[in-house]
Structure 1
Amino acid sequence: MTTYSGPATLILANGARVTGMASLGTNNRGNLNGWSGTFRPNEVNAEVRNATDGLQLELPYEQIGTVAVTNVRRLLATQVLMSLAGSGPAPF
């Protein structure tokens, strides 16, 4: 299993960029096309809470992967944790 944990930028369908922290891993041993994880945005608004698909996750060094949000869980009054499912090659 390959993993990544660190800073990331979620790119919304309209091109808006949301910075935060990601924790990602590949799903299948050695298969880099199946990956998933979580993203905790630094700032939360309705647009971020309602994001579902047409999204990209950018990691440092301009590595980008296509993601869909599968769940949004409230952590605190001002924080959420987004569950992500990646498609295509893992960007890490």
Structure 2
Amino acid sequence: MTTYSGPARLTLVDGTRVSGMASLSTNQRGGIDGWGGTFRPDQISTDVRNAAEGLVLELPYDQIGEVSVTGVRRLLATQILMSLAGRGPAPF
């Protein structure tokens, strides 16, 4: 298993970039390679909270991967944690 934990930027469908922290890992089960994890945006908005498909996650050094949001949960009054499922090769 490979992991990444650190700064990331989520690009929404409309091109809005949202900075935050990502915690990602690969999972290899039954010959199926995949990756996913969580993203905690620095600031939340309705657009961020409603994001679902067609998103791009950018890691340092121009590492980019397509993601979908599989869930959102509130951490504190001003923070949310987004669960992500990656598509294609892992960017880390």
Tell me what 1:79 maps to.
79
Shift of 1:32: 9.0
Which amino acid in structure 2 is aligned with residue 12 of structure 1? Answer: L
Tell me what 1:64 maps to.
64
Any conservation in 2 of the 1:32–1:90 contact (CA below 8 Å)?
no
Note the residue ranges of structure 2 that are not aligned, 5 or more in a row.
Answer: none
Tell me what 1:88 maps to.
88
Note the residue ranges of structure 1 that are not aligned, 5 or more in a row.
Answer: none
Runs of 4+ in structure 1 displaced over 3 angstroms? none
Give the distance between the partners of 1:66 and 1:57, measured in 2 at CA. 6
Which amino acid in structure 1 is aligned with residue 14 of structure 2? Answer: N
Q: CA RMSD in A?
A: 1.4
TM-score by length of 1: 0.95
Which amino acid in structure 2 is aligned with residue 84 of structure 1? Answer: L
Which amino acid in structure 1 is aligned with residue 70 of structure 2? Answer: T
Secondary structure of 1:61's partner? Answer: coil
Tell me what 1:37 maps to.
37
Q: Are residues 1:9 and 2:9 paired?
A: yes
Give the distance between the partners of 2:9 and 2:37, measured in 1 at CA. 14
Any conservation in 2 of the 1:33–1:87 contact (CA below 8 Å)?
no
